[in-house]
Amino acid sequence: MVLTIELLDSKRHNRSIFACGNDNLDAYIVKSASQDLKKKVATVFVLIDSPSMDIIAYYTLSTYTVNITNLDKTFTKGLPRYPLLPAILLGRLAVDSSRQGQGLGGVILIDALKRVLRATEQVASVAVIVDALDEKAVNFYQKYGFQQFKEHSFKLYLPVKAIEELCLRFEI
């Protein structure tokens, strides 16, 4: 068996048994993910253990804008004073409960960050933004260098420059 991350294909990937323990994340992959992909609202990437087509983890990426006043001044110091800056939203990230605790959350997060880095070569973005569901998720993202927004403790960002450094540090 080989872990593979692919773009969601609703005809090939089995979404029906996915259960991470959060009803909203479970319902999204089963009911809404393929529509978001089709309508270009979000790209949905799934982790499978091939040859099985059962989804064991997934994440979504989409474009986003962030208000410059919500970001730390040390980060925005060298940036243009535009009121809104381009970013990428890591909208959802979930691991099936049967596979939690195996480091797969980190695997798919690093995959998402690598995709973001490649995308910024074509489309500008200053950071990746996440909306953490709870304190446990906040701690998870902070382990990778994400910083909390000034006024929103569950909203975090990671500057693209930090992603570059992270990839170099881990030789990703």
Q: Which CATH architecture has domain 2-169?
A: 3-Layer(aba) Sandwich (3.40)
Distance (Å, whole) CA 121 – CA 115: 10
Answer yes or no: is pLDDT of 168 > 80. Answer: no
Res 167: pLDDT = 79
Q: What is the pLDDT of residues 115-146, one digit of tens each?
A: 999 999 999 999 999 999 999 999 999 999 99
The ranges assigned to domains in the chain are 2-169
Cα of 35 vs its chain's centroid, Å: 18
Count CA atoms within 13 Å of residue 136 on its CB side: 3
β-pair type (2-7, 43-50): antiparallel
Which whole number is the average pLDDT over 99-124?
Answer: 94
Q: How confident is the model at residue 98 (pLDDT cuts 50, 70, 90)?
A: very high
48 has a pLDDT exceeding 90: yes
Per-residue pLDDT of 66-86, as tens digits, reads 988 888 888 888 888 888 999
Q: Is the pLDDT of residue 63 over 60?
A: yes
Is the distance from CB of 114 to CB of 53 less than 8 angstroms? no
pTM over cut 0.95 = no
